[in-house]
């Protein structure tokens, strides 16, 4: 294997040992669901034991849940590169996308511009807005988004990193158009370096269960301060108001917390926070650099074997063309290698993490069809 993929910032074997699934499988599907670190397993067990023994009511319980939510919010803010008050706790990337699109005052004649490489989790909320508000949507090639702005374009909605093959959006060019940008960060947050303030996007929606190794039903939404008041609160609840005892007055809570989705789940919060802490302890810079370096080597090795690797940026996704992608995924699963297909594109996709090993990638290069 090429020396260029090695990193010395931490111990790869020690980091890898934190993920029990890697003892059995070459797990290369964090782009769907990330591996679970031991620290998260222990945190969830401890939380279940606590709630079973102490119940789930009373002031100490309530205050503990709110403190846990605050810690999770701060941990998300750290990896986003913003302040905690600029982050809402959601249940998924799609929750964040829905929050923005349902919260904007869209009207007939407005247009949402999106790309030809978007996930259904972004496209479905856009499609609903078309039916509800009579707006239009225009789909253009991913790389051509910055040059496709029209006078009535109200929002650019696209992936920071394309789920199809790992292309990276030209965010500075998108922001330079002056149109608010909503980024789907499902394949970005935790996978590549992110600084939302430097990016300059208006909205940044991310999942917790993918590259952040959290549970299903976890995620976050960043809203730039200058865009917060542009959003209605689409599904208000306990966390949305400044004083829950005066909920009918509907005075919004301070900051982006007003966009939180429901009452915080202590179980999901414990898992999400423990996973974020495990990744942060390794060092986000190391996590990002090792994963991108491994993925870059892997993509090059597949291409050298003659496989048709999809265009990509410095990301953690590698996709290649296969005649029957679903069958190839099943065949590789039989070899103990977990990847996925992208059905509409006839692709097999591997998600390469900092937890991946050189040996398992070399093996996949040999076995890939």
* Beta strands 340-342 and 347-351, pairing class: antiparallel
User: pLDDT digit string (tens) for 47-67?
Assistant: 999 999 999 999 999 999 999
Residue 125 and residue 117: Cα distance in Å, rounded? 15
pLDDT at res. 75: 98
**Cα distance between residue 206 and residue 91, in whole Å:** 9
The domains found in the chain, sorted by start residue, are: 3-28+283-367 (3.90.1150.10), 47-280 (3.40.640.10)
- Which run of H or E residues covers position 47? helix 38-54
Q: Residue 113: its pLDDT value, please?
A: 99
Predicted pLDDT at 351? 99
Query: Residue 119's pLDDT is what?
Result: 98
Query: Alpha helices, DSSP H only, in 104-236?
Result: 120-133, 171-175, 196-199
pLDDT of residue 207: 98
pLDDT score for 369: 81
pLDDT at res. 239: 86
Alpha-carbon gap, residue 335 to 333, rounded angstroms? 5
Residue given tokens 């009579």 in the structure block: 134
For the chain, which residues score pLDDT lower than 50?
1-9
């Amino acid at each position: 294997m090429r020396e260029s993929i090695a990193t010395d910032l931490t111990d790869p074997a020690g980091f890898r040992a934190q993920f029990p699934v890697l003892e059995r499988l070459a797990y290369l599907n964090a782009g769907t669901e990330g591996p679970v670190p031991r620290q998260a397993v222990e945190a969830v067990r401890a939380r279940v034991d606590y709630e079973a023994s102490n119940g789930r009511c009373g002031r100490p319980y309530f205050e503990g849940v709110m403190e846990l939510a605050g810690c999770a919010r701060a941990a998300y803010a750290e990896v986003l590169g913003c302040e905690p008050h600029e982050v809402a706790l959601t249940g998924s990337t799609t929750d964040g996308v829905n929050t923005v699109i349902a919260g904007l005052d869209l009207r007939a004649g407005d247009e949402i511009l999106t790309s030809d490489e978007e996930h259904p989790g972004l496209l479905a909320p856009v499609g609903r807005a078309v039916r509800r508000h009579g707006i239009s949507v225009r789909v253009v090639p991913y790389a051509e988004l910055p040059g496709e702005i029209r006078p009535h374009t109200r929002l650019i909605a696209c992936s920071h990193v394309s789920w199809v093959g790992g292309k990276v959006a030209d965010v500075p060019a998108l922001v330079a158009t002056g149109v608010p940008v909503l980024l789907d960060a499902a394949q970005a947050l935790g996978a590549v370096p992110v600084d939302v303030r430097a990016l300059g996007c208006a909205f940044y929606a991310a999942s917790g269960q993918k590259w952040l190794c959290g549970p299903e039903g976890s995620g976050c939404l960043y809203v730039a301060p200058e865009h917060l008041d542009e959003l209605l609160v689409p599904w208000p609840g306990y966390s949305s108001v400044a004083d829950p005892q005066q909920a009918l007055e509907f005075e919004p809570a301070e900051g982006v917390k007003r966009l939180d989705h429901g009452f915080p789940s202590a179980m999901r919060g414990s898992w999400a926070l423990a996973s974020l802490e495990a990744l942060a302890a390794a060092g986000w810079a190391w996590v990002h650099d090792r994963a991108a370096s491994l993925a870059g080597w892997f993509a090059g090795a597949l291409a050298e074997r003659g496989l048709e690797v999809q265009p990509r940026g410095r990301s953690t996704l590698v996709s290649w063309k296969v005649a029957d992608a679903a069958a190839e995924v099943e065949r590789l699963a039989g070899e103990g290698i977990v990847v996925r297909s992208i059905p509409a594109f006839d692709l097999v996709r591997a998600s390469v993490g900092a937890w991946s090993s050189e040996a398992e990638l070399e093996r996949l290069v040999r076995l890939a069809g």
